[in-house]
A and B are shown apart, each in its own frame.
Chain A
Amino acid sequence: EVQLLESGGGLVQPGESLRLSCAASGFTFTSYAMNWVRQTPGKGLEWVSGISSSGGATYYAGSVKGRSTISRDNSKNTLYLQMNSLSAEDTAIYYCAKASQAYYFDSWGQGTLVTVSS
């Protein structure tokens, strides 16, 4: 059974940084691209960033490009998202999502809440 467990969320002040983690199990982590998707409380879904299976290719939404870095440690089956210069607009639940071979998202974690507030 695929399991994705996010961690690292919390309350941070505007301008601060945060690193989210997603521990994966139940599948061959090295074979699949991974993604971060966020959801503003009460609102819809926004894809944030994606990374290829090897980590050699990364992709970002315009809203986080230049201040966020996605990475993965295939030896630890773990996905990361480093977010810098956080603002209130980054307040959301952040989900880790496994991509199928064709890039639709076939498994999701339970999410970790990031709150940016002074």
Chain B
Amino acid sequence: DIVMTQSPDSLAVSLGERATINCKSSQSVFYSSNNKNYLGWYQQKPGQPPKLLIYWASTRESGVPDRFSGSGSGTDFTLTISSLQAEDVAVYYCQQYYNTPYTFGQGTKLEIK
């Protein structure tokens, strides 16, 4: 199984500042035949199901604010929120969909400082 490890486990950032969450996979999730990284990012607010933010490691889902961006390739990935807003308080998860079992990171809890 591919193990997904996020860092940090929790993060406190001031409003308007940048937040950065890292995700590392135990093996590459890059598929060379189509040049894509099978890596997604999800946001989960309290009492709600997860919501897709980013897929293919860097493609923003429709309707997601452009302050959210994803980067990285192979085994190392980053989710960046360029200017933190109050509504961004949530737990963020990375997930690989390269192969089954699809696996998630343990989550990063983002709070306001």
- Binding site secondary structure of chain A: strand
Chain B residue with the shortest CB-CB distance to A63: B101
Q: How far is the CB of A85 from chain B (nearest CB, A)?
A: 19
A44, B97: Cβ atoms closer than 8 Å: no
- Contact residue range for chain A? 20 to 34
B104, A108: Cβ atoms closer than 8 Å: no
Asked if A73 CB lies within 8 Å of chain B CBs, one says no
A108, B49: Cβ atoms closer than 8 Å: yes
Chain B residue with the shortest CB-CB distance to A109: B49
Asked if A29 CB lies within 8 Å of chain B CBs, one says no
Chain B residue with the shortest CB-CB distance to A111: B49
Most B-side CB within 10 Å, residue of A44, A60, A100, A110: A44
For the complex, give the distance between the alpha carbons of A111 and B44 in Å: 13
Most A-side CB within 10 Å, residue of B50, B61, B93: B50
Asked if A27 CB lies within 8 Å of chain B CBs, one says no
User: Can you name 11 extra interface pairs (CB under 8 A) apart from A44-B107, A47-B101, A102-B56?
Assistant: A35-B102, A44-B105, A44-B106, A45-B50, A47-B103, A102-B55, A103-B102, A104-B55, A104-B97, A106-B61, A111-B49
Q: List 9 A-B contacts (CB under 8 A).
A: A44-B106, A45-B93, A46-B104, A59-B101, A60-B101, A104-B52, A106-B55, A107-B52, A108-B49
